[in-house]
């Protein structure tokens, strides 16, 4: 009888323990599934940091769960791709995006990884094109050809590809050089106008003595008479034609009216 009690007791204990293990396993599975589901929802919403935490939590609940591991690997690859892209390291970014595509765990992340991977080639092409144009514009700027320099830069600004956030810093550099070109071009134009006006004034100065000598105004005659008088010559004894002739001779010899009258009268 005692033996039967022991057998029955053992059976009861085994049943109870088995039931507890099933309960614990069921609870763990629910927690695992919940973490995976929440992580995937965060991926869809673009909350990658929270998604990483959920997938890591799922793996702690069930280290053997391949679903959470694949999801975690994919999101880590995608996030790494974004990081390298922000550092302008296109090769490393492409490698991580491609890996995320190959893992093929979360549909939303698959699409984003494919688009990001395809965009890398476009970024490479635009980088080469924009850099070439900018270098040419910079060379023209150094040569003082500001107009053509700006024309090269305008080709960059008008290209839709430069609106990608990848080129944000580069675009600022382009706009800065455009402003520099415009400022220097205005300065050059002002300088040219000043030079032109100066030359025009010089031409007027060269011509004016002859004009004054040939057709002296009353004011010129009056002023000349004062200079003649100061030179010790009686200007009152001279008529206007005499004064005009004196002015003409003074201009011809490139000396003042006072000096010419002093030396010759």
Alpha helices in 46-65 (DSSP H): 48-61
Find how far residue 255's CA is from the centre of its chain. Answer: 62
What pLDDT shows up at residue 192? 57
Phi-psi region for residue 181, left (φ > 0), alpha (ψ -120 to 50) or beta?
Answer: alpha
pLDDT band at 251 (very low <50, low <70, confident <90, very high): confident
Write down the pTM of the prediction.
0.57
| pLDDT tens string 28-84 | 788 888 888 998 899 999 999 998 899 898 889 888 878 889 998 999 999 999 999
Q: Is the pLDDT of residue 133 over 80?
A: yes
Question: Average pLDDT for residues 186-200, to the nearest whole number?
Answer: 59
CA-CA distance, 149 to 161, in Å (whole number)?
20
What pLDDT shows up at residue 140? 93
Q: Is the pLDDT of residue 205 over 70?
A: no
| Residues 250/257, Cβ–Cβ less than 8 Å | yes
Task: Calculate the average pLDDT of the chain.
Answer: 82
Alpha helices in 87-167 (DSSP H): 90-103, 107-143, 146-157
What pLDDT shows up at residue 86? 92
Query: How far are the Cα atoms of 29, 37, 211 from residue 24, in angstroms, in the given order?
Result: 9, 20, 117
Task: Give the whole-number percent of the chain exceeding pLDDT 90.
Answer: 41
CA-CA distance, 243 to 253, in Å (whole number)?
15
Which residue shows structure tokens 């080639």?
121
| pLDDT tens string 75-126 | 999 999 999 999 999 999 999 999 999 998 899 999 999 999 999 999 999 9
What pLDDT shows up at residue 259? 82
What pLDDT shows up at residue 218? 82
| Residues 50/37, Cβ–Cβ less than 8 Å | no
Find how far residue 176's CA is from the centre of its chain. Answer: 7
More confident residue, 224 or 195: 224
Cβ neighbours for 99, distance < 8 A, ≥ 6 positions apart: 77
What pLDDT shows up at residue 27? 64
Q: Is the pLDDT of residue 159 over 80?
A: yes
Q: Is the pLDDT of residue 214 over 70?
A: no
Question: Average pLDDT for residues 171-193, to the nearest whole number?
Answer: 82
């Amino acid at each position: 009888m005692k033996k039967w009690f022991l057998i029955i007791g053992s059976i009861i204990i085994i049943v109870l323990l088995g039931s507890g293990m099933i309960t614990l396993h069921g609870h763990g599975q629910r927690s695992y599934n919940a973490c995976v589901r929440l992580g995937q929802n965060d991926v869809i919403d673009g909350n990658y940091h929270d998604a990483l935490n959920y997938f890591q939590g799922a793996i702690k609940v069930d280290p053997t769960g391949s679903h959470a591991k694949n999801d975690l690997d994919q999101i880590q690859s995608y996030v790494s791709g974004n990081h390298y892209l922000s550092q302008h390291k296109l090769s490393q970014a492409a490698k991580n995006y491609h890996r995320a595509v190959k893992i093929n765990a979360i549909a939303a992340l698959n699409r984003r990884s494919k688009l990001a991977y395809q965009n890398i080639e476009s970024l490479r092409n635009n980088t080469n094109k924009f850099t070439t144009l900018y270098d040419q514009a910079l060379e023209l700027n150094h040569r003082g050809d500001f107009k053509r320099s700006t024309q090269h830069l305008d080709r960059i600004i008008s290209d839709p590809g430069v609106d990608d956030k990848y080129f944000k810093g580069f675009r600022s550099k382009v706009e800065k050089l455009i402003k520099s070109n415009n400022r220097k071009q205005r300065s050059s134009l002002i300088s040219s106008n000043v030079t032109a006006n100066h030359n025009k004034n010089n031409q007027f100065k060269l011509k004016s003595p002859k004009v004054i000598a040939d057709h002296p105004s009353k004011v010129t005659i009056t002023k000349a008479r004062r200079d003649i008088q100061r030179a010790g010559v009686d200007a009152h004894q001279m008529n206007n034609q005499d004064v005009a002739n004196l002015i003409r001779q003074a201009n011809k010899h490139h000396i003042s009216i006072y000096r010419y009258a002093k030396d010759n009268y």
